[in-house]
Structure 1
Amino acid sequence: MTEALDALLDLLDLEQIERDYFRGRSRSALVPRVFGGQVAAQALVAAGRTVPGDRAPHSLHAYFLRAGDPGAPIVYMVDRIRDGRSFTTRRVVAVQHGNPIFHLSASFQTYEEGLEHQTDMPSAPDPESLPTAAEMLPRHLPADVAERLIEARAAVDLRYADAPPWASVGTAREPRSQVWFRTNGKLADDPLLHIALATYVSDMTLLDSVLLAHGRGGWAVGDVVGASLDHAMWFHRPFRADEWLLYDQESPSASAGRGLGQARIYTQDGRLAVTVIQEGVVRVPR
């Protein structure tokens, strides 16, 4: 296990300070706010700590309310909305400095057999044939920016199927991108942990497809100011975050200073594991 992955797992191992209250720390931020994927993953872990072990998350819906302070702890307050025979519902509010910064609702379900179908996995290059993000970044970004990005993402092996926004500035193309990802090390056999790590990664690249449509490079090159507004995920089938997952992303719309991204996450053998939708602020600096 890499040191970076070990540090990320430590962030997700929340401190329980009361029956339904948990405290999380933050890692150094690339920008002066907490990474949204971290808050979403920690909130999901907090909710999961109050749910019977035979129930796994099947969906989450979240809003980013305020920028998080990376220098202060985050308190996650869990509300036990409902415990049914098959489904459990939890609501989580993340608080810093006395103010809510994030709100999440999550639903958990016991496994059961049912109807089965899925959208076919799109074609994608073999992940092992692609360069790592750590290999690509220094070729396209200033050394200090590339170094910070590599450090921030060191726990995850990201591999772009095509040139990411920061490597194709000025060239508008179809608003679609594909990224393979897996953790840089093996994980324990805890379904909640694998789902939390996929939640963490899901906030890294989803709005890239918005930028591609306009030839923008994003915050890394300073031609766009952005932030996540809301985030929704549906977990369809079991998966492991330490095995290759294809993040197939596209943007159907951008308007009014906002951009919408939607995506599907597939296992390497073609099973549809997760559906993701996110809207974010996407503003051109004036």
Structure 2
Amino acid sequence: MPEALDSLLDLLDLERIEQDIFRGESRSSIVPRVFGGQVAAQALVAAGRTAPADRLAHSLHSYFLRPGDPGAPIVYNVDRIRDGRSFTTRRVVAVQHGQPIFHLSASFQTSEEGLDHQYDMPAAPEPESLPTAAEMLPRHLPREVADRLIEARAAVDLRYVETPPWGSVGTPREPRSQVWFRTNGKPADDPLLHMCLATYVSDMTLLDSVLLAHGRGGWAVGDVVGASLDHAMWFHRPFRADEWLLYDQESPTASGGRGLGQARIWTQDGKLAITVIQEGVVRVPR
């Protein structure tokens, strides 16, 4: 498992080929396109490497424009939109084969004191009481599919609080899902890196709640065709991606071949660390 994390960290360690141009490698995916969380995380790495060292990301907003080719590198062009007294704004365009496949805007801020409040953390069982992915996936999926998922997510210890959508096909449920996650290993003490790792994981399960509402299992069982359309995150408080984080997800609506997922990510001691919203294509094959 630590080897899988090392591989992910290598993926996020972009090559700088010009002052504001970076190149990232890709790798095989469980679907025939680049995993959206990878592109978003790499784009945030590129933006962060051009921001002042005393400023941390507090938000990102992004759009997935074209499917990425997992067999080709991705070039990230950074536009230095603004450097103000407190905030820095960067825009990043990810390019493959001469075409933009993704773009991201990120804002960075110096550390400040201010008003402070948050919702209460929802109830959830302790993560260590839940089965690991390697234990749970083979119970609900064909062995070949389960093995591919386990391999693709080996850098992350991901534990579902309840049965995921592909384990309850045909039984609509409340459109809510909870997942605990942390990295399988200890990354460096770099706050930007931990934000990028959380960004990577945030695209793995967010649309599960859309599927739950309709008793659909998604790509793993072939009853839904889906892809991320846009993705937004707000970073509220410090956290570490190698410590347990609760991903509390829900879907308020789905219509027009699209589904909306929104979520909050909490530290184990109850601090609201991140808010996430994503819309994705959710189509039933004809």
Q: Secondary structure at the match of 1:204?
A: coil
Q: Which amino acid aligns with 1:247?
A: Y
Alignment of 1:106-125 (within 5 A): 106-125=106-125
Q: Which amino acid aligns with 2:243?
A: E
Report the equivalent of 1:206. 206
Q: Which amino acid aligns with 1:49?
A: R
2:37 matched to 1:37? yes
Alignment of 1:1-286 (within 5 A): 2-286=2-286
Distance 2:145 2:7 in 1: 21
Distance 1:161 1:260 in 2: 21
Query: Runs of 4+ in structure 1 displaced over 2 angstroms?
Result: none
Displacement of 1:53 in angstroms is 1.1
Distance 1:33 1:156 in 2: 20
Distance 1:270 1:134 in 2: 27
Q: Secondary structure at the match of 1:247?
A: strand
Over aligned residue pairs, what C-alpha RMSD do you find? Answer: 0.6
CA offsets, 1:63-86, max 9 Å, x none?
000000000000000000000111
Displacement of 1:178 in angstroms is 0.2
Distance 2:145 2:25 in 1: 24
Displacement of 1:195 in angstroms is 0.1
% identical equivalent positions: 87
Q: Which amino acid aligns with 2:81?
A: I
TM-score by structure 1 length?
A: 0.99
Displacement of 1:276 in angstroms is 0.2
Distance 1:51 1:134 in 2: 39
TM-score by structure 2 length?
A: 0.99
Distance 1:184 1:128 in 2: 14
Gaps of 5+ in 2: none
